[in-house]
Each structure stands twice: as C-alpha cells, then as structure tokens.
Amino acid sequence: MCTTCGCGQGDVTINGEVPHGHAHTHNHNHNHNHNHNHDHDHGAGGSRIVEIEQDILSANDHMAMHNRQDFARFGVLALNLVSSPGSGKTSLLVRTASELADKMPIHVIEGDQQTSLDAERIRQTGVAAVQVNTGKGCHLDADMISRAIQNMQLEKSGVLFIENVGNLVCPAAFDLGEAARVVILSVTEGEDKPLKYPDMFLSAKLMIINKCDLLAYVPFDVEKCVEYARRINPQIEVLQVSALNGDGLGEWYEWIAAQSEMLQRDG
C-alpha cells in the first residue's frame, strides 16, 4: 500500500490526445498527501496510518465511481491492464490496437513513472494515446484517469485500454472505474506469482499468460499457475497468448468483444 511504501504523486503529468482542436495541458500539481512521517511508533501511529489509507482509498473510490458513470455515459468499455514491469502489456496493446482499430474505436492511456515511450509505441499504430507519468507514484489512481479522459474524445462502443504502472502490488488497491481488470503474467516470471501477490489476482477478471512462445525454453508450469490463480480467485478466466507471434490473440479479441457486448446490453 502506498501510504506504507512511501510513494508520492506530487509530480504527475498528462500528455497526449487533445479534444476538439483546443489544446490545453493538464499539468496540475495535485498533492495527494501520500508523504507522511514514517518516524512514528506503531501504537497510535499505526492506527493513524490505517486512517490515512482509508481516507485515500475512499476518496479514490469516490472518483472511480464518477469515472465509471462517465464510461457508462459514453458507452465505453474500460479495461485496466496490470502486471509487473516487462510482462508485455504494451506489446499486447500495440498488436491489439493494430488489429482491432478498424473494428471498434480504441483509446489508450499509458501509465509509467517516466517517459512517453509506451504512448509513442501505441501512436505508431495510428491509435491516439495519452501518457500519464506518475513521477514517484507506483500506480495510477482514479483522479489521474479522470484528468486523462478530459484530453480524449471517447467514442460510443469503444474500448479504453488503461496500461497501469508495472507493479503487482499497489495498483491492486486503486479502482480506476474500469469495467474489468486484466492481469498479465509472462512465463519468465514464474508460476507462483498468484500466490505471492494475491490481491492483484483476486481483483482481476482475466489472467493473460503471455510470452507462451518461450514455454519451450523456461521452466513454467501453466497448469500449476492456473491452479494457483483459481485458488485465489475461482472465477478468474485465463488466456494463453504470445504478443510476439500472435498466438491466442483471437481469443483475447473475442473476450474484449464479449465484454463490450455485455456492457452495451446491461448498461
């Protein structure tokens, strides 16, 4: 949790797609009060930390609810992609944007501590992307998403992919208003991750096992990984893909289409 890991969000910047021809930047410097003195005892101080955590999370939940209402109003399916760094989130999105953009409106928000590298990779496919740099922050929060979508022209029946900061811990605690969370685990990371980082797998609707092209070269037990994930979250759906060679991506696209249809039908 961020109040205990000490991450700060005072230097968030948002850059990218601009609505309706009027350019304006959203370089607000909101201080989310994540920095507090850790030099305390763990009696009364401990309960104060819990209080601060609850305040931060309830403010975030409130903002997430507004985002969810906005997505419903626009008829946009928002998916929050979470994983450890380097599991292949952007690679998956680059392929997805290239292969789905002529079938449905695609929007992307990229979250990283620094650089616009991932947003640039998405833009090379012709799809617009907004980059959120979290500075010292280790996760996206609902306020950042609310500000990012002010820079976007969301289209009805579109899909908004939100690539979270690479981190299997803190993003689990922050609802962004998404319809579903998708956790990506690559086969080079080890099949034990669902047991080690249960909050993330508990909150995900889908687990994508990526880099399956490497299964011949690394010891990774897919069956065990699925068993571990379902021990944490019996409902979790699972897909095996390779963002590199495209294996399994058809099922990923079918899953997205099914979520989108569900959203349009149920509102």
Ligand X SMILES: Nc1nc2c(ncn2[C@@H]2O[C@H](COP(=O)(O)OP(=O)(O)OP(=O)(O)O)[C@@H](O)[C@H]2O)c(=O)[nH]1
Q: Could you list the residues that contact Mg ion (CB under 5 A)?
A: 89-90, 118
Q: From the list 243, 249, 256, 263, which residue makes contact with ligand X (rule: CB under 6 A)?
A: 243
Q: From the list 89, 107, 123, 193, which residue makes contact with ligand X (rule: CB under 6 A)?
A: 89
Question: Is position 83 an interface residue for ligand X (rule: CB under 6 A)?
Answer: yes
Contact of residue 85 among ligand X, Mg ion, none (CB under 5-8 Å per partner type) = ligand X
Are 80 and 181 within 8 A, CB to CB? yes
Min dist CB 66 to Mg ion, Å, is 26
Angle at 165 between CA 136 and CA 261, to 5 degrees: 145
Min dist CB 213 to ligand X, Å, is 5
Alpha-carbon distance of 237 to 170, in angstroms, equals 22
Question: Is position 244 an interface residue for ligand X (rule: CB under 6 A)?
Answer: yes
Q: Which listed range, 6-14, 28-36, 223-231, 238-246, lies at the site for ligand X (CB under 6 A)?
A: 238-246
Min dist CB 17 to Mg ion, Å, is 18
* Lookup: tokens for 6: 């000490």
**Closer residue to Mg ion (CB): 32 or 211:** 211
DSSP the chain: -HHHHT---TT-EEES--GGG------------------S-SSHHHHHHHHHHHHHHHHHHHHHHHHHHHHHHHT-EEEEEE-STTSSHHHHHHHHHHHHTTTS-EEEEEEESS-SHHHHHHHTTT--EEEEE-TT-SS--HHHHHHHHTTS---TT-EEEEE--S-SSGGGG---S-SEEEEEEETTS-TTHHHHSHHHHHS-SEEEEE-GGGTTTS---HHHHHHHHHHH-TT-EEEE--TTT-TTHHHHHHHHHHHHHHHHHH-
Min dist CB 122 to ligand X, Å, is 10
Question: Is position 87 an interface residue for ligand X (rule: CB under 6 A)?
Answer: yes
Min dist CB 131 to ligand X, Å, is 11
Are 151 and 129 within 8 A, CB to CB? no
Min dist CB 92 to ligand X, Å, is 7
What residues numbered 115-134 form the site for ligand X, per CB under 6 A? 118
Question: Is position 222 an interface residue for ligand X (rule: CB under 6 A)?
Answer: no
Q: Which listed range, 7-15, 131-139, 210-218, 252-260, lies at the site for ligand X (CB under 6 A)?
A: 210-218
Q: From the list 16, 137, 158, 166, which residue makes contact with ligand X (rule: CB under 6 A)?
A: 166
Question: Is position 53 an interface residue for ligand X (rule: CB under 6 A)?
Answer: no
Min dist CB 46 to ligand X, Å, is 32
What is the contact surface with ligand X in residues (CB under 6 A)?
83, 85-91, 112, 118, 166, 210-211, 213-214, 242-244
